[in-house]
Amino acid sequence: MTSTLLIVQIVLAIAITIAVLLQKSSSIGLGAYSGSNESVFGAKGPTGFLAKATFTLGFFFIVNTLALGYMYTAENSKSVADSIVPKNNAAVPAAPKSATPAPSAPAAPTPSTEK
* Domain residue limits at 60: 1-24+47-78
In a domain, 96, yes or no: no
Domain count, the chain: 1
In a domain, 3, yes or no: yes
In a domain, 42, yes or no: no
**Are residues 72 and 2 in contact, defined by beta-carbon separation less than 8 angstroms?**
yes
Alpha helix ranges (H) inside the chain: 2-22, 49-75
Alpha carbon separation from 34 to 6, 26, 39, 51 (Å, rounded): 40, 13, 9, 20
Q: Is 19 a residue whose pLDDT tops 60?
A: yes
What whole-number percentage of the chain has pLDDT above 70? 68
In a domain, 108, yes or no: no
Confidence label for 114 from pLDDT (cuts 50, 70 and 90): low
In a domain, 11, yes or no: yes
Q: Which amino acid is at 113?
A: T
pLDDT digits (tens, 9 = 90+) for 62-90: 999 999 999 888 777 777 777 777 677 66
In a domain, 84, yes or no: no
